[in-house]
Every structure is written in C-alpha cells, then in structure tokens.
Structure 1
C-alpha cells in the first residue's frame, strides 16, 4: 500500500507499477527492448512483464529469448539485478493468428494478472501489401483490444502508433483526426482481394500502407476508451538512445539511419528534398520514458489521450544538419566506402535524382566492382547500390516533406512529474542537445550496428 504525503498527492511512476504486471507486444523489436529494460530497471517492484513472442526464422521461442537477452542493452540489469530478468514471462503467440495464437491457459493468466498493456507490435515495412499490413496493424490490434476488455485488473491500454498517420497535414496536433477511409469498407476490399493499382486509390493520399493502416487503427483504439483508459503515443523517427542505459545504442538500420549512413559513406549522393526540411528525430529512450510515464499518470483520464512523441515543434533539427554530422564523422573516422564522402546534394526534382544517381552512384559502382574483379576480389558495390536505392525510395516521401508535430501534451506531462521522476524518465524534446546527441548517434552506429569499436 502506497502512503501519500502532503507534498505528493499521487504515487511516483515506479510506485504506480509496483505490484502490477504488464503485457507487451512487439517486445523483441527496437522499441520493445527498451520498454522492457526500462520497466525492469526503473520500476523494480513490478511483478512480471508478459511478452508475446513467436518462433521466427527457425528459432524456437527459448532460442529467441536467449538471443534477445544477449543484447548489450541488458548489461546494467545483468550486473546489478540479474534476478529481475526472470520477471519476463514468455507468452508464445502471433499477432496475426486467431486469438493471437495464445493458449487457453496463458490467456486465463493474462486476464487474471495484467494491469497494463503496451501494444507496439506492427509491421516495420512501409510498403507491405495492404492485406498483410491490415492483418498485422488493424486485425492484430483489434484482437488485443478485445483481450484487454476481458482483463480483470486492466488499468490502461497504451497503443504505439506513428507521428505519420496524418501526413496530409503540415501541422499535427495531439488529437484524433478523421480516418483516411471507412474502416469497414477497407475491410471489404481486403476480404475480396485488392490489386496494387486499387490500393493506391484507397490510400487517399497516404504515402504507404503502413501509415494508412496505422491511421485506421487509431480509430479502433479510440473506441476502446469507453471500456478501458486508453492512450495513443505517436513517435516520429525513432533513433539511438540519448541517455541510458547505453548512450548511442540502437538495434536496427530503420528510420533515418540507413540512408544517413549510406550518404555519409559516399554510397548515396543525392537526397530527394531540401536540406532545410525538418527531420523529426526522437531518441528511443525518450519514447520508452514517455510511454511508461503516460501509463502511470494518464490512466484515470476519462478522455482518450494522444501524445506526439516528437521534436519538430519545440526543438527542430534539419535533415541537412543530420547528414552533415554523419558525413563529418565518417571523414574523421575514415569509415567511408567511396571517395569524396562529404559530397552529396539535395533536390526536389525526381528526374534529377534519377540522373545524378546514375552518374554519381551507378557508374562509379560498376567501375569499382570492375577494379575489384581485376585484382581477384568479389564485386559488391552494384549490389550495395540496389540496397541504397531501395532504402532511399522507401523514405523519399518523408525526406521531401516537412511537418510540425505539436508535443504540448508531452511537455505538460513531463512538467507535472516530480523531480525524481523527471530524472528517471526524461522525455521533454527541448532537453536534447542535437550536437552531442548526433555525435553519440554516429558512435552508436559504429559500435552497435557495424561493430567497429
């Protein structure tokens, strides 16, 4: 039982989670790992974290969790409180399977014991066929919501959306906007089968099936507020850890990382967009801290709470600055792959992107591979160019647009925390020093992705 003092009328974030159990989907992903580590370390009296996990790539559930915990992200827990890792309880299942693929016994356990749901499972591919994106993002969420309504101890449902559900607006507030299409009508299209050409029409201006289905899903989640206190968190471009447990840590090449590193290494010479456009970066630990704090502080709200976990409105950084910092680091570390690594241009003309790509990327790649062949080395740069172009084309809509994502509610939540909770759960984007952060980000790429240091 928490005893409240006259100075503090609400329990701290850690006190909220004390004696409770959390159910997480998407726990093996980039965000999910940080959620789990942070909950275990900073909320030491949490009872259990139930983690939905499936077999993947020939690895059993037990093999996957071993691989999961081998990540350096969990080093401080292993050093200081290794027993807390035993609080992770695996729930074999699949977000796309009927009833989530969960056994009756495990479902009963979740219904009896879970107080908080963090639903972050989603496809990470922007251009999945619509039926695939629908099955994962919409139907998977629908099943999670249905399960939450049967839970006896449920206090809050936290849905991880994306800041890019409303790309048709230049300024995005922390509110629920009209859906891009009628969800029942889209379901009928998916059910009856849909061509790629028809998909383009249905997207109604959204750049891909990812942002489209995530926008529809927000409306499913909003309906849940009538049954369970519900929160939507919209992260922007999630990047490396800013503070702890490991500065610079990141777990994949998605988001801004792939194109930025290709450009820094001289493998990409042209970017579709303008150097003065804002790239809305947010450190992954800021997302985790916001989610955990919002769960603790917004769980009694009678209204749906939407939080834009973004930096563009209050502490913007330009895409030109991001590229320049990474290029300077590549030159300093001599980690570039092609000559003149700092040479690249921005353009808003698609035809010029194609022309410059051929002249300054494809031709040099062929010449370099020919040189490698002549000295008995295996060719690699033509294959790399295919990956570079695929990476760039998947995000060129985002590099060629600039948005202002309002984060007033995030900042208000942070301001309402006690000094101790502000220290433990930093999430106000104003406090990001971009020069220092981007240096740590560069180091993180070398250390955790390229494994060069």
Structure 2
C-alpha cells in the first residue's frame, strides 16, 4: 500500500519542501528500459524537455527485426515525439546515451563497460519495457515481463547512487477484484511453481488456466508475478509501482493527441469511429478506463522525485474510473458527437450496438459488418479493383476478440495516492506535471484524441 510515513529516513535524506521536480533530476542520470515503445518514448521526451538540467538518460536498445542498433537509435530520434525538442533545444537530445543489450538476457546482455557506467552513474531507474501482446503464450510473456524484471532489479542492487526503482505494471493484473486499491495484492501461486512450469518442454493448458486464476491473459499474470518478485527481493531499494489502465494518446504533451501506434483500445475505438466495427461485446454501462499517456509519464516522474526512503512499496494507479469514469456508451456518444460536429453523422443509428449475448454479437456482426464488407469486396472485384474490406474485418474482429474481456466487465481503480501526490506539488509543478486526471474534460479530450489518430496514425491532416 502507498506509504505516507517517513519510516527510517534521516533528516539529511528528507527533500526540501521547495525542491521542484526538475530540481530533483538536476545533475542526476536516469536509466529507462522500453524507450522504443509508446510509453517509453513519452518518459524519455518529458524528462529531457521538462527537466533541463538532467545529466544523462541511459536507454536500453537491442537489435530487432533485422535493424541494427544504430538504425534503431536514428529511428527513435527521428520520431515525432521529439519535435519540440528538435525545434527548441536540439542539443538536449545528446543527453540520450544508448547502452546495447536485451531485456531477456542475464545482466541485460550489457557489456562490462556499460554495466560499470550504469552502476556508477544512475540514480533513477524506470523499468517500462514489456511484452504487451495479449495473445502471447505463457513462456513468451514470462521471459520478458517476469524474468526481464528480475534482470533489471539485480542490476539495480549493484547501482551505487540509486535513489528509486520505478516499475511500470498494469492496473489489470488483479482483475478478480472489482474495486482495486493502490496496494500489493496477494498472489495465489508461488513463484517457484511458475519457474518449474517454465522448465517443462510442453505447457499443459489446464495448468496455465489454473495459474491465470481468473486473470484475462498471460500478460496480466506475468506483470503480477513481476510485482511480487520485486516486493520480495527489492531489499532497501525504494520502489514504486505505477499501474496504468488502458493507455491512449496524449492530452497535452509532447503534442496534443500524440500517438505512435494502434495500441490497446485505440485500434478498436478507431474502428468504431470509422464505422468498420459496429458491435461491442458488453454492456454499454460498463466502465472503460482510459488514461492519456502523458498522465502516466508525469505520475511516474513525479512519484520518483517524491519517493521516501522506506521498505514499503508505493503504489499508484494511473486511472480515470474513480475520478472521471467513462463508459462504453459514453465513448459511443463521443464518437457520434465528433462525427456530427464534423458533418459525418451516420444515417444508421445507433452507431454502435452493445450486447452481452454471444448469439447477438455473431448475428449483428454478420449483418452490420461482414455482409456489407463482402458486398463491397464483390463490387471491387467486379470492377477490376483489389478487394480489401474483408481483410480489414479480419483485423478488426481479431482486435475486438482480444479486448472482449475488458469490454464485458467493469472495474473501478482507486487513485487516492495519485491525487494526494498532485496536491503536494507546487503550483508551478502542477502545471508542468499534471498527474491526476481530475482535470480531464472528456469532450475536449476526445476532440484531441481523434485529431491525433488522424494526424499521427492515419497520416491525415
């Protein structure tokens, strides 16, 4: 649970009340994993832009899909996320210091020289890297999300200047509970049992299902296991768990609506907005917890700066359901509002149908999506054009299937600690690092969200 006590901290360790968030990072070096991902890029850009006197930001880079590490760094720096840095302070991009390795390997696959640099210089670690494939098998999820975390924590224990270790988890790792608090929940399976299962050449599906114990997928289980490993092995390292819900495009920074992939719910929301998906499995009153990416990065950066030297783990839910709840029906209304305001309203109402009956899901999907797509493809074929609509439907239905668990249920994630954290900031830091979504206005955000999808993902101005 979030620790508000100063247990064991000496006066010398207590940060001055007037110290700003940027002051905390001044002269310090930070290590971030997962910087080539959506969330990792947001962390990296915000630290460089708003903490001007930060010393270096070490980033873990590995080879991927045939790209060498040099090309990956070049591609990273060319990303639209760094537009304002390139425009105003391009020299600060030189603070990005790549170290080449692999989260899946012992000691992160780092060279001895890079290990020594991190051990001597790093004060704050943000472990953001994760395999977020909700379809992944158990071994794939555990290798990166569980064992990768063990590798990072072991390296942290060797860091001589380390002030705090921030682990980015997920709000959905304990979904057997309907109202989730900011605390570490008990795990119904021993870590040793999971390791033994991992050593087996073939995984029994029944044992995997038993391990999941009501969790939606191996991603959620692997994040829960990683949390428990950290809780049992962090020793005297101050630890923070950040639990974001469904991360969506930015509200304000680095630019309104910024996104770099159809990640999480964005693909399904876009499909509904563009009317290639008309059916959602679930009750329209179910809460769907969306959180803009900049609130997650701000919360993490602020929490690290305000950390207390305690053996208790501070847990922060980066979520909207307990403060600014949004329902599935509410998202549908936002889609219809935006389309109407842009004179793109549908003549077929409602735009989206909600049902908790599989039979109705199948029937409505056939009538409203598959049949029109088949007819459209048939027309394209007859006129000598390449059919495409059934292929689009295949992708849409696959994405919808993955998210069925989340749309057909409802949770409330408490975020009292996040609110208290924001309340503790100076007026200037509240403006620079908004981290509690109590100020979100959904109408404004969805305008920004859809513009961002058009600009950054669909490449249409």
Question: Shared fold (TM-score greater than 0.5)?
Answer: yes
- The counterpart of 2:322, out of the listed 290, 313, 326, is 313
Which residue in 1 is equivalent to 2:137? 129
Give the alignment's Cα RMSD to 1 decimal: 1.8
SS at match of 1:247: coil
Which residue in 2 is equivalent to 1:29? 37
Instruction: Say yes or no: does 1:73 pair with 2:81.
Output: yes
- The counterpart of 2:237, out of the listed 212, 217, 228, is 228
Q: Do 2:278 and 2:369's aligned partners in 1 also have CA atoms closer than 8 Å?
A: yes
- The counterpart of 1:9, out of the listed 2, 17, 21, is 17
Which residue in 2 is equivalent to 1:51? 59
C-alpha separation in 2, matches of 1:127 and 1:84: 38
C-alpha separation in 2, matches of 1:343 and 1:307: 36
Which residue in 2 is equivalent to 1:139? 147
Q: Do 1:269 and 1:345's aligned partners in 2 also have CA atoms closer than 8 Å?
A: yes
Which residue in 2 is equivalent to 1:411? 419
Instruction: Say yes or no: does 1:297 pair with 2:306.
Output: yes
C-alpha separation in 1, matches of 2:233 and 2:339: 48
TM-score computed with the length of structure 1 as normaliser: 0.95
SS at match of 2:199: helix
- The counterpart of 2:281, out of the listed 247, 272, 283, is 272
State the shift of 1:326 in Å. 2.4
C-alpha separation in 2, matches of 1:84 and 1:341: 51
Q: Deviations over 1:200-227 (max 9, x none)?
A: 2221111100011111111112124423
SS at match of 1:118: strand
Which residue in 2 is equivalent to 1:444? 452
Q: Deviations over 1:76-118 (max 9, x none)?
A: 1111111100000111111112321111110111101111000
C-alpha separation in 2, matches of 1:245 and 1:298: 25
Which residue in 2 is equivalent to 1:106? 114
State the shift of 1:340 in Å. 4.1
SS at match of 2:317: strand
C-alpha separation in 2, matches of 1:224 and 1:40: 31
Which residue in 2 is equivalent to 1:254? 263
SS at match of 1:56: coil
Unaligned 5+ segments in structure 1 are none
SS at match of 1:95: coil
C-alpha separation in 2, matches of 1:156 and 1:199: 34
State the shift of 1:68 in Å. 1.3
SS at match of 1:267: coil
- The counterpart of 1:383, out of the listed 375, 379, 391, is 391
C-alpha separation in 2, matches of 1:328 and 1:411: 30
Q: Do 2:244 and 2:319's aligned partners in 1 also have CA atoms closer than 8 Å?
A: yes
C-alpha separation in 1, matches of 2:98 and 2:343: 43
- The counterpart of 1:159, out of the listed 167, 174, 177, is 167
Unaligned 5+ segments in structure 2 are 1-11
Q: Do 1:240 and 1:250's aligned partners in 2 also have CA atoms closer than 8 Å?
A: yes
Which residue in 2 is equivalent to 1:360? 368
Which residue in 1 is equivalent to 2:218? 209
Shifted more, 134-143 versus 298-307: the winner is: 298-307
Which residue in 2 is equivalent to 1:38? 46
C-alpha separation in 2, matches of 1:288 and 1:363: 43
TM-score computed with the length of structure 2 as normaliser: 0.93
Which residue in 1 is equivalent to 2:8? none
State the shift of 1:302 in Å. 3.7
Instruction: Say yes or no: does 1:401 pair with 2:404.
Output: no
Which residue in 1 is equivalent to 2:207? 198
Which residue in 2 is equivalent to 1:370? 378
Which residue in 1 is equivalent to 2:251? 242
Q: Do 2:246 and 2:264's aligned partners in 1 also have CA atoms closer than 8 Å?
A: yes
SS at match of 1:226: coil
| Higher relative contact order (CA closer than 8 Å, sequence separation 6+) | 2
Shifted more, 435-444 versus 253-262: the winner is: 253-262
- The counterpart of 1:94, out of the listed 97, 102, 127, is 102
Which residue in 2 is equivalent to 1:421? 429
State the shift of 1:334 in Å. 7.0
Which residue in 1 is equivalent to 2:6? none
Count of paired positions: 447
C-alpha separation in 2, matches of 1:333 and 1:185: 55
Q: Deviations over 1:401-424 (max 9, x none)?
A: 111100000000110011111111
Shifted more, 217-226 versus 338-347: the winner is: 338-347
